[in-house]
Amino acid sequence: MKKYIFPNDFIWGVATSAYQIEGAWNEDGKGESIWDKFVHQKGNIENNDTGDVACDHYHRYKEDVQIMKKLEIQAYRFSISWTRIFPKGFGEPNKKGLEFYKNLINCLLESKIRPVVTLYHWDLPQALQEIGGWSNRKIIKHFENFAKFMFEELEDKVYMWITHNEPSLVAYCGYAFGEHPPALKDPKKAMQAAHNLLLSHGKVVQLFKDMKLKGKIGISLNLSTIYPKRRFRKDLIAAKRQDEFKNRWFLDPLFKGFYPSMLFKFLKKKNIEPNIEKGDLETIKTPIDFLGINYYSRDIVKAIDDSTFVEYMGIEHKKYPQGLYDLLIRIKRDYENIPIYITENGIHLKDKLTKDNKVHDIKRIEYLEEHIKKAWEAIRDGVKLKGYFLWSLIDNFEWTYGYSRRFGIVYVDFKTLKRILKDSAYFYRDVIRNNGILENVSLKEKQLNELKQKIARRFNSF
Ligand code: FCB
């Protein structure tokens, strides 16, 4: 029997974010966020879905924590909706909003589940967008105040803090590609937003360290391994560019205190480089306790033309577990062998509920199994990987795709809001129980064997 057993202190968790699951978008004094505004404008979201109700987690959090307990989940990564706490982004805190997170955290602790808090998972207060959002340096102070308030209130109960979730998506999709709110197509503002996000991260880490708080602090980046489509020089260069744009633009300043040169030169030539003030890069480089990695797939890059940096490629997305291994090894090699948590990994499928209320999501089980094995190999080869958070606990509002993409290990019937455990939920519970994967008990194999037996039985009946 092959065993993929993880270190004793390895942590198995699940992840969600506030806007994607909470609903109650305007209840108990919550202010409007950029996502509230964006989804209410027709045509922005598939099917014109909104997160107004989402999974109604705001009212059903106890049930969701019970599900986690049943699945023996050890840590829960969720985010705080900034506008529940400060409806306009700053000013007087909203007691009711704070109460919700305190109740949730107490409920988790009672169930022996460690709270992992993301401070910013994309839902900026609309009032702050009106002064330019992340492209305006002024909002960094507001983010610091929000973080300080949360640190003070939740101080000793939070196991890990994550300043930002995927700052590259916030900056690029929000300010350059026009896909997410504020839906701008302004590369200069995008690069400024990226810089300000990183700077706000550094400031909050400094604050955390100055306050001498318990717990750990880090950031979650969406990283992928980039491979050239063909072994041509042109494609190799395109891959290098994509790597600077997607990965290194965030990793290098965080760990090395500079921006990668090829992209920086390109931006400068076009006059769209960010304004960097004295001391900014020092602040961004403030040491963190861990790096969070969100990994879904690889990018395959093919040169198109070299007129712009970003459009110099074609990207292909496919399941590619080996990419997770390659990425982890690369981070170990290039970035100080920092402790790592995989803070998101998962797959969306067109899950179907059977008549007897089951979801046989074999493809998800396969995906998880293959990636978890690669994570194990990375640890074997010296990576300081400390935990794994599956995206996601439940099906939820998948941003511009609305409810059309199901990522959960728990199925949600969006009409009744009933939760139903998928096969992958039991698979993951067994992974947690075994602290890894025991090859011969894998569901995939069990099912393959059942299939073989079925075929054999049919064959024999002839
Ligand atoms: C990531 C986001 C997360 C979720 C997954 C599928 O980019 O951080 O909120 O949407 O993708």
Q: Is the CB of 17 under 6 A from ligand 1?
A: yes
Give 23's pLDDT tier (boundaries 50, 70, 90): very high
Q: Which atom of ligand 1 is nearest to the CA of 405?
A: 6
Distance, CA of 154 to CA of 60 (rounded, Å): 21
Q: Tell how far the Cα of 269 is from the centroid of ligand 1, in angstroms.
A: 33
Q: What is the DSSP letter of 273?
A: P
Q: Is the CB of 118 under 6 A from ligand 1?
A: no
Atom 4 in ligand 1: residue holding the nearest Cα: 398
Residues 6+ apart with CB under 8 A from 273: 191, 264, 267
Q: Is the CB of 166 under 6 A from ligand 1?
A: yes
Give 445's pLDDT tier (boundaries 50, 70, 90): low
Distance, CA of 80 to CA of 120 (rounded, Å): 7
- Taking only the tens place, the pLDDT of each residue in 63-91 is 999 999 999 999 999 999 999 999 999 99
Q: Tell how far the Cα of 46 is from the centroid of ligand 1, in angstroms.
A: 16
Q: Is the CB of 398 under 6 A from ligand 1?
A: yes
The dihedral over CA atoms of 182, 311, 332, 113, expressed in degrees to the nearest 10, equals 30
Annotated catalytic, 311?
no
Q: If we measure between CA atoms, which residue out of 146, 265, 132, 130 comes closest to residue 204?
A: 146
Q: Which atom of ligand 1 is nearest to the CA of 122?
A: 9
Distance, CA of 377 to CA of 369 (rounded, Å): 12
**Which of the two residues, 156 and 332, has the higher pLDDT score?**
332
Ranges of beta strands (E only) in 269-409 are 290-294, 299-301, 340-344, 385-391
- The hierarchical CATH code for the domain 2-460 is 3.20.20.80
Percent of the chain with pLDDT over 70: 94
* Chain center to CA of 391: 7
Q: What's the pLDDT score for residue 235? A: 87
Atom 10 in ligand 1: residue holding the nearest Cα: 398
Give 31's pLDDT tier (boundaries 50, 70, 90): very high
Give 441's pLDDT tier (boundaries 50, 70, 90): low
Q: Tell how far the Cα of 3 is from the centroid of ligand 1, in angstroms.
A: 30
Q: Which atom of ligand 1 is nearest to the CA of 398?
A: 10
- Taking only the tens place, the pLDDT of each residue in 182-239 is 999 999 999 999 999 999 999 999 999 999 999 999 999 999 999 998 898 988 988 8
Q: Is the CB of 407 under 6 A from ligand 1?
A: yes
Atom 9 in ligand 1: residue holding the nearest Cα: 17
- Taking only the tens place, the pLDDT of each residue in 232-265 is 898 898 889 899 999 999 999 999 999 999 999 9
Distance, CA of 75 to CA of 428 (rounded, Å): 13
Dihedral angle sign, alpha carbons of residues 182, 183, 189, 195: positive
Give 304's pLDDT tier (boundaries 50, 70, 90): confident
Distance, CA of 147 to CA of 157 (rounded, Å): 15
Q: What's the pLDDT score for residue 313? A: 52
Q: What's the pLDDT score for residue 450? A: 73
Distance, CA of 37 to CA of 398 (rounded, Å): 16
Q: For 45-54, 296-305, 329-338, 438-447, which range has the lowest pLDDT when averaged over its residues? A: 438-447
Beta strand pairing status for 114-120 and 75-79? parallel
Q: Tell how far the Cα of 51 is from the centroid of ligand 1, in angstroms.
A: 15
Mutate to test the pocket of ligand 1, among 296, 297, 391, 405 (most ligand atoms within 8 A of CB): 391
Distance, CA of 265 to CA of 267 (rounded, Å): 5
Q: Is the CB of 399 under 6 A from ligand 1?
A: yes
Q: What's the pLDDT score for residue 309? A: 59
Does pLDDT of 308 surpass 70?
Answer: no
Annotated catalytic, 377?
no
Q: What's the pLDDT score for residue 326? A: 98
CB distance 20 to 346 below 8 Å: no
Q: If we measure between CA atoms, which residue out of 110, 77, 111 comes closest to residue 290?
A: 77
Half-sphere CA count of 203, side-chain side, radius 13 A: 20
Q: Is the CB of 395 under 6 A from ligand 1?
A: no
Q: Tell how far the Cα of 311 is from the centroid of ligand 1, in angstroms.
A: 23
Q: Which atom of ligand 1 is nearest to the CA of 20?
A: 9
Q: What is the mean pLDDT of the chain?
A: 94
Distance, CA of 348 to CA of 408 (rounded, Å): 8
Q: Tell how far the Cα of 405 is from the centroid of ligand 1, in angstroms.
A: 11
Q: What's the pLDDT score for residue 1? A: 82
Catalytic residue from among 22, 273, 344, 369: 344
Q: Is the CB of 12 under 6 A from ligand 1?
A: no
Q: Is the CB of 129 under 6 A from ligand 1?
A: no
Q: Tell how far the Cα of 224 is from the centroid of ligand 1, in angstroms.
A: 14
Give 439's pLDDT tier (boundaries 50, 70, 90): confident
Does pLDDT of 462 surpass 60?
Answer: no
Does pLDDT of 461 surpass 90?
Answer: no
**Which of the two residues, 144 and 449, has the higher pLDDT score?**
144
Q: Which atom of ligand 1 is nearest to the CA of 399?
A: 10
Instruction: Give the global pTM.
Output: 0.94
Mean pLDDT (whole number) for 331-342:
97
Q: Is the CB of 165 under 6 A from ligand 1?
A: yes
Q: For 153-157, 182-186, 317-321, 351-355, which range has the lowest pLDDT when averaged over its residues? A: 317-321
Q: What's the pLDDT score for residue 314? A: 54
Q: Tell how far the Cα of 70 is from the centroid of ligand 1, in angstroms.
A: 24
